[in-house]
Amino acid sequence: MNVPVKTNDLEAFWMPFSANRQFKKAPRMFVAADRMHYTTDDGRKVLDGTAGLWCCNAGHNRPKIVEAIRQQAGELDYAPAFQMGHPKVFEFASKLVNVAPPGFNHVFFTNSGSESVETALKMALAYHRVKGNGSKFRLIGRERGYHGVNFGGISVGGIVSNRKMFGTLLTGVDHMRHTHDPARNAFTKGQPEYGAEFADDLERIVALHDASTIAAVIIEPMAGSTGVLMPPKGYLEKIRAICDKHDILLIFDEVITGYGRLGAPFATDYFGVSPDIIVTAKGVTNGVIPMGAVFAKSKIHDVFMTGPEHLIEFFHGYTYSGNPIACAAGIGTLETYKEEGLLTRGAELAPYWEEQLHSLKGLPHVIDIRNMGLIGAIELEPIAGEPTKRAFSCFLDAFEHNLLIRTTGDIIALSPPLIISKSEIDQLFEILRGVLTRAA
């Protein structure tokens, strides 16, 4: 069928995670972006309060990244990912492991956060199997966890709307509780005081299933998409200790926290708690080219290099793993991060960010505010019987007033590019103050 292509044809494209019918009545389109701003199709400059989808950490249209992509496309566009190599993928891997937290000397490339999650889960299962502990097959996640949209990810994830339509999911999965406890921790700056004991859920799960059946625990050290939930003080340390005690691998999903969001290169650095596998994506290429990167310690990697002959490979990979153009974009991204000190810039801005964010306390319907590095959340009292409506109307109002925010449930999430200036922080909160003051 010969369908004419029109930019205003809103039928052909089935949008992901969008209320398609509603969007098509009032479309919101970006046609360009530069540094901290998007440009809409009606010519407005919109301040990016979310780094795209938590991914454009260096802002938009960054010359090093643009040029790297341009050059690579004209030089080597694609090389088979299996049994063949190309220089850019080795260069990028060695540069990446240099910024990764200590001990993470190996990186496996994917094309998204969801694929990185699947890769990490399979790596954990295969690790135990290669070591001769094939009975360790269970995976433990957390309520409200978000680990992408593939079957492993929605199984270990804990968001009902992402799970309920899709059948039985993976078997052998259990969940700990999430740690969000506004009754005790509302309006905490940084890590909350209360809730380390939520980690004891893991001991209960071990007692129920026996450690000999549990392969890995996956958590977001700071849960982003589900509403920016900070780990209580001592919680991650406890999870780590329980995993160690029972030979359970710990996977940190750092798809959002990776590459500077908390003011340290990774949450692993920020919290000083080291997992066995780190899942990343988004900021690895500044969101510009789809890519994910899974970091593993030598403890994991070396098992595959030295195990029994018939099991030596990790039978896993993607056609586009380590794609040359993605690697070039990644190298340009790392250079930009390094030159501008972006992997730690959040730490410098954090006190100012925190002060401005918490100045919204007391505005109508605001029931909690939380922050860490350059991330923040404002939780609103839901309208009775109409959850999500209040925050979403704030999103629409903010967009009308030239600010891009993100909402999940009745929570407003903020995660601007790490290049934001103090005056742009002021601007962001001035617009948001207006939005919250008007919120019905």
Which residue stretch of 7-15, 23-31, 250-258, 352-360 sits at the interface with ligand PMP (rule: CB under 6 A)?
A: 250-258
Q: Which of 117, 236, 250, 325 binds ligand PMP (CB under 6 A)?
A: 117
Quickly count helices (H) and strands (E) in the chain.
16, 15
Contact between 289 and ligand PMP (CB under 6 A)? no
Q: How far is the CB of 146 from ligand PMP (least distance, A)?
A: 5
Contact between 114 and ligand PMP (CB under 6 A)? yes
Q: Whole-angstrom Cα distance, residue 48 to residue 25?
A: 23
Identify whether the C-beta of residue 36 lies closer than 8 Å to the C-beta of residue 255.
Answer: no
Q: How far is the CB of 437 from ligand PMP (least distance, A)?
A: 29
**Burial tier of 15 (Cβ tally within 10 Å: 0-12, 13-18, 19+):** exposed
Nearer Cβ to ligand PMP, position 179 or 356? Answer: 179
Cα separations in angstroms, 265 against 53, 102, 270, 334, 365: 18, 11, 8, 11, 34
Which residue stretch of 108-116, 134-142, 200-208, 328-336 sits at the interface with ligand PMP (rule: CB under 6 A)?
A: 108-116
Single-letter code of the amino acid located at 133: N
Contact between 281 and ligand PMP (CB under 6 A)? yes
Which residue stretch of 82-90, 195-203, 219-227, 427-435 sits at the interface with ligand PMP (rule: CB under 6 A)?
A: 219-227
3-state helix, strand, coil in the chain (%, to 5): 40, 15, 40
Q: Which of 52, 59, 101, 113 binds ligand PMP (CB under 6 A)?
A: 113
> Which residue minimizes CB distance to ligand PMP?
113
Scan for tokens 């979403």, then name that residue.
Answer: 392
Q: Whole-angstrom Cα distance, residue 297 to residue 421?
A: 36
Nearer Cβ to ligand PMP, position 253 or 397? Answer: 253
Nearer Cβ to ligand PMP, position 104 or 429? Answer: 104
Identify whether the C-beta of residue 262 lies closer than 8 Å to the C-beta of residue 415.
Answer: no
Counting Cα atoms < 13 Å in the Cβ hemisphere of 326 gives 25
Contact between 226 and ligand PMP (CB under 6 A)? no
Identify whether the C-beta of residue 105 lies closer than 8 Å to the C-beta of residue 297.
Answer: yes
Q: How far is the CB of 113 from ligand PMP (least distance, A)?
A: 2
H or E segment and range at residue 330 = helix 324-339
**Which residue, among 149, 231, 128, has the nearest Cα to 188 in the 3D structure?**
231
Contact between 353 and ligand PMP (CB under 6 A)? no
Q: How far is the CB of 55 from ligand PMP (least distance, A)?
A: 8
Contact between 112 and ligand PMP (CB under 6 A)? yes
Which residue stretch of 74-82, 229-237, 249-257, 404-412 sits at the interface with ligand PMP (rule: CB under 6 A)?
A: 249-257
Site string for ligand PMP, 143-172 (x = CB under 6 A): ---xxx------------------------
Number of residues in contact with ligand PMP, rule: CB under 6 A? 14
Q: How far is the CB of 15 from ligand PMP (least distance, A)?
A: 14
Q: Which of 174, 220, 368, 379 binds ligand PMP (CB under 6 A)?
A: 220
Q: Which of 107, 206, 242, 256 binds ligand PMP (CB under 6 A)?
A: 256
Residues 6+ apart with CB under 8 A from 105: 97, 297, 298, 301
Q: How far is the CB of 39 from ligand PMP (least distance, A)?
A: 24
Nearer Cβ to ligand PMP, position 158 or 435? Answer: 158
Identify whether the C-beta of residue 105 lies closer than 8 Å to the C-beta of residue 277.
Answer: no
Nearer Cβ to ligand PMP, position 110 or 188? Answer: 110
Cα separations in angstroms, 245 against 202, 203, 241: 11, 10, 6
* Chain residues that interact with ligand PMP, rule: CB under 6 A: 112-114, 117, 146-148, 220, 224-225, 253, 255-256, 281
